Every structure is written in structure tokens, then in C-alpha cells.
Structure 1
Amino acid sequence: MRWNHRNRTAAFLLVSAALVSGCLTTQPEPLRAPEENPSAVLDTTYGLIDAIAQQAPAWVKNGPVLVATFVDVDQLEHSSTLGRAITEQASTRLVQLGFPVVEVKLRASLFVKQDTGELLLSREIGQIAREQSARAVLVGTYAVGKRAVHINAKLVDPTQGTILAAQDSVLALDSHVKSLLR
């Protein structure tokens, strides 16, 4: 085939059209919901506590540790099923790692709010820790985002108010986790 001016022009237009169409903006793919993983909460909590345990001073294992309910970072007097589940799992993991944990549900001196859990308010931590001879208090918050829950845990010296260990984690906001945020 002979490439005359008409054929060259047609070829040029076809190639140009192909190149331009590749540059056109396409519709973004809709965000897919994360795949549900019912063990993600447990895995995330255990990872947080493992990191806290590694950072904690050795003397913390000599005395009781209190575990406060993990609360919503925007409403420190509010928790959810997720916050209470993280609290229970954190207590379990601390015990598994050799920390003596005081079961706060057996104590009447804590601020207990129905449907929330055992909340250790900052003004009461020193008093409660003295009553329980606690060496440390594990406190935590969670923040719900568009696609994830951000979790923070801190091991605090209740007499000094200093943070002995701290760790952050992110939990995918799948349908299982959403169901726990009530």
C-alpha cells in the first residue's frame, strides 16, 4: 500500500485519537468495603498489648495493673461494644503476658456508667490506684474514621501521671467492626 497524503493523514488521526482517548479522565472506582475479618479486633488488640508489654518497665509486673474501658476520643465518657471488647481482650492479653490485672468489675469505687463500662476519670485515677495498690493503669481511646478505627493505648503511672508505654494501631472499618460501634 502506498502512503499518500490522504493515508498518512488518516493514520495520523487514528493514532492521535487513540492517544487522546488514553488521556481522558475515567470515573474513579467506587470504594469497596474492606473484606470482613472477625478476628481483626482480637489481632489488633493483642498486637497493641504486646507492644505495650515490651515497652513497660519491669517493675510494672510486680504490682496490679488496672484496665480502663477504651473510650471514644471525641466523647471521653462514651464507649461502645468495640471499646468494651478491646478492654476485655487487653486484660486477657496482659494476664497471658504475666501482668497481675485487677478485675475492675469487682470494685465499687470505679465510675461505672451503664452501657459504657469502667471509666477511670483522670481526677480519680490516683485515688483508685492507691486503693488497689496499682502500679499502672492501661487507658485507651478509639477514633472512628471513614474507612478505619484508630486505636491508642497507654500504660500510665497513676501516681505521677507519666506515660510508661504507648502504642497506636489501625483497624479496618469492615461490617463486623461497624456492628460493634453501638
Structure 2
Amino acid sequence: MKMVNWKGISALLVVGVLLTGCASNKAARVSDQKVDLVEEVGDATQILVKNAVVPINKQKAILSTSFANIDNLQESSTFGRLIGDTVAGDLVGGGFNVIEIRLRNSLYMEPRVGEFMLSRELRHVSAEHDAQAVLVGTYAVGGEYVYVNARLVSVNDSRVLSSYDFRLPLNRDIRKMLSSNR
């Protein structure tokens, strides 16, 4: 009859428990990861302006909208409104002429094509304010991050003048803002 090595089994159980604890602590750290949302969005805004294919004229208006949920472009959230407002505020801080518009159904993305389409109402608003571009964006929720795309789109021909992607950790604050849809 073979003897059972209880010390070996006990050691394996202890190692297993410790490894399980480490794995669950890592998941907890990701969800509790701190982020300076204002700083991250500010950095993204600077890159957005810097990467424009044509210089953005500070005298001509940029129309600002809320960022939309990429899975439902008619939907935003506290997160989408905050990101749009923060980018707009950073543009104003950079000396740009920003006009806020909250046109829910006037600007949309064609689902199969993925190009922005500007409605007659938006064209009217942009002409009224001599606007050169509209600030638009989308966000997508992943497992550990929320992925954000910000774009400056020409109001004249719907051409993307600049685009920048960034991600933010999906922590408690951001999850709470995402759960509050319109």
C-alpha cells in the first residue's frame, strides 16, 4: 500500500490558493485603476488638433456634440457627454471658437458605411455660425477599457480632418458614467 504524501498535497493546495488570490487581486486592481480623465482627454485633444490634415482656423467655429455609443449611435451617456464637453473645453482653452450643439438625430453615422453624414439641419447651423468643422466621437466598452475615438469632421464635405483614438481604464467611475444612458 502506498502512503499519501500529505505535506506535498498541502503545499500544492497552498500554492493554488495563493495563485487564485493573486489572479483575483489583479482583476480588482484593473477595475480600481485610477485615471485623470481630464488630463487624458486634454492630451487627446492636443493630438487631435496637431494631427489635422489642414490647419484648424481658430477664428472659424467648431461645432461640438456629445460622443455616442458605437453600438447604438443614437445613444450617449454621462461618459459620452462628459468626453465631448471636455474636448470642447480644451479646444476653447486652446483659443478655438467652439459652439455647443446638442443635435441628437441631426448627426449620425451610417451603420454599414461608417462615414459621417451631415443633415440639412446641421448644415444650416454650421452656415449660420460660419463653422469649419464639427467635433464628433464614439466610444466602445471593452472588458478592461473603454475605447474612445474623437474626430474633427468638415461641415462642407464630411471629410475627416483629424482623428485620434485613446483608451481609458474601465474603473468604477467610468462604469457608473457609462450606465447612465439618455
TM-score relative to the length of structure 1: 0.73
Matches within 5 A, 1:11-90: 27=20, 29-30=23-24, 31-34=27-30, 35-37=32-34, 40-56=36-52, 57-90=54-87
Uncovered stretches (5+) of structure 2, i.e. residues with no partner:
1-7, 109-116
Q: Distance in 1 between matches of 2:87 and 2:62?
A: 11
Are the counterparts in 2 of residues 40 and 171 from structure 1 also a CA contact under 8 Å? no
Task: Give the residue type in structure 2 aligned to 1:174.
Answer: N
Uncovered stretches (5+) of structure 1, i.e. residues with no partner:
1-16, 105-109, 114-118
Partner SS, residue 97 of structure 2: coil
Tell me by how many angstroms 1:59 deviates: 4.4
Are the counterparts in 2 of residues 65 and 137 from structure 1 also a CA contact under 8 Å? yes
Tell me by how many angstroms 1:101 deviates: 0.6
> Which residue does the alignment assign to 2:4?
none
Task: Give the residue type in structure 1 aligned to 2:170.
Answer: L
> Which residue does the alignment assign to 1:102?
99
Task: Give the residue type in structure 1 aligned to 2:132.
Answer: R
Quick check: which has more Rg, 1 or 2? 1
Task: Give the residue type in structure 2 aligned to 1:29.
Answer: A
Q: Which has the higher strand share?
A: 2
Partner SS, residue 151 of structure 2: strand
CA 1:162 to 1:84, structure 2 compared with 1: closer, same or farther past 3 Å?
A: same
CA 1:54 to 1:170, structure 2 compared with 1: closer, same or farther past 3 Å?
A: same
Q: Distance in 2 between matches of 1:144 and 1:86?
A: 14
Tell me by how many angstroms 1:172 deviates: 0.1
Partner SS, residue 58 of structure 2: helix
Is 2:107 the counterpart of 1:111? no
CA 1:176 to 1:47, structure 2 compared with 1: closer, same or farther past 3 Å?
A: same
Q: Distance in 1 between matches of 2:140 and 2:44?
A: 15
Q: Distance in 1 between matches of 2:170 and 2:87?
A: 20
Number of residue pairs aligned between Structure 1 and Structure 2: 150
> Which residue does the alignment assign to 1:146?
143
Q: Distance in 1 between matches of 2:40 and 2:91?
A: 14
Q: Distance in 1 between matches of 2:56 and 2:174?
A: 35
What does the per-residue CA deviation read over 1:46-80, in whole Å, with 9 as the maximum and x for residues that have no partner?
11111011123334323000011100001000000
Q: Distance in 1 between matches of 2:123 and 2:36?
A: 33
> Which residue does the alignment assign to 1:168?
165
Tell me by how many angstroms 1:126 deviates: 3.0
Tell me by how many angstroms 1:36 deviates: 4.3
What does the per-residue CA deviation read over 1:115-149, in whole Å, with 9 as the maximum and x for residues that have no partner?
xxxx6333424333223211111100000111110
Q: Distance in 2 between matches of 1:162 and 1:123?
A: 11
Q: Distance in 2 between matches of 1:62 and 1:89?
A: 20
